[in-house]
Amino acid sequence: MARIGTLAGTAVLAAALAAGCSSHSVVTAPASSPTSGTGSGSTGLPRSAQVGDTLELAGNEKGARIAVTVTAVADPATGADAISTPGAGERLVAVQFRLHNIGSAVYSDAPANSATVIDEQGQGFNTSVTTEVTAGPGFPAGVHVAPGDTALGYLAFEVPAGSRLAKAQFTLNSGFADQTGQWALPAATAAPTATATAARTTTVTATATATAGPRTAAAAPRQAVEDYYAAINARDYARAWALGGRNLAPSYGQFVNGFTGTAADTVTVTAVNGDTVSVLLDALQTDGTHHHYAGTYTVRNGIIVAASIH
């Protein structure tokens, strides 16, 4: 736990180095895909992947290769519980991915960290990791897919009600692999009208208030930090990584290693100012000693995006 501040700084440095020497590629055409036409109107380019198509992507580890398929899109999607209700002016979209391990190594990852959707204006949206939808089961926080096996699940995204989505992307190794698969989303997908969105939001919010009580603006950032530490204390590092650990460490392995020697963390939220959560942290070590920290977490859309802990 003592390395939490250092890890955040290392992640920034790693990102800067990667920006200068990246060999990243975007895979848009299925294997053996025919070109987009013949004759005078032909572009001569392979057909872009669409819903139902499979893209083969390489991971960072030796023998890591996954055939990724976008099998279905629910737009708009319906939240399965009160916590999954989109905010005012937002809507849920769910994309179902199938991950087929065609390599020789076990694929272990947190799929929620690997996917994004992009609208027609080029705005990208990460997954809403705590959201569940009625379209079907989601992925667990972490998956472990043996060679030859398959994992299937929905990933949910909270996007502006008026956004028209154009693409879905998936990158192995929680977004750190060198290849990104890209699928064109159906052009027929229409954004719901503002009136329809407002009506649906009002109805669901009223139900949620009756069963769970009103949620304050400060509740979401505070809850994200508390959920993050609950996952750490439960040794559910895949979930903690999905809740923001991915933004605090350069790799999942280094993130987990940062808690070596820590028996339990007790976090006390002292203030919430917008998306900034101030905390005091008591880290009980496995040798019985205590390490104390103070600082802030920055939370956006239910995910920790930055930390300053000393």
pLDDT at 196: 37
Quick count: other Cβ atoms within 10 Å of Cβ 251?
Answer: 18
Domains and CATH numbers, the chain: 53-212 (2.60.40.1240), 219-309 (3.10.450.50)
pLDDT band at 22 (very low <50, low <70, confident <90, very high): low
Burial profile 127-137: b = 16 or more Cβ within 10 angstroms, e = fewer: bbbbbbbebbe
Report which residue type is found at 161: A
Which carries the bigger pLDDT value, residue 224 or residue 37? 224
CB 112 within 8 A of CB 85: no
**Beta strand extents in 136-289 (DSSP E only):** 143-145, 150-160, 165-171, 179-184, 262-273, 276-285
Which bin fits 301, alpha (ψ -120 to 50), beta or left (φ > 0)?
A: left
Per-residue pLDDT tens digits for 279-310: 999 999 988 899 999 999 999 888 998 999 88
Cross-sheet strand order for the sheet of 65-77: 54-58, 65-77, 90-101, 150-160
Residue 254 is predicted with a pLDDT of: 85
Distance CA 8, CA 309 (A): 9
Of the CA atoms within 13 Å of residue 113, those in its CB half-sphere come to 27
Task: Specify the pLDDT at position 242.
Answer: 87
Which three-class secondary structure string do you get for 195-221?
HHHHHHHHHHHHHHHHHHCCCCCCHHH
* 84-110: average pLDDT: 92
The DSSP symbol for 3 reads T
**Euclidean distance between CA atoms 207 and 18, whole angstroms:** 46
199 confidence band (pLDDT: 50, 70, 90) = very low
Q: 131-188 pLDDT, tens per residue?
A: 889 999 999 888 999 999 999 999 999 999 999 999 999 999 999 999 999 999 985 4
Confidence class of residue 32 from pLDDT cuts 50, 70 and 90?
low
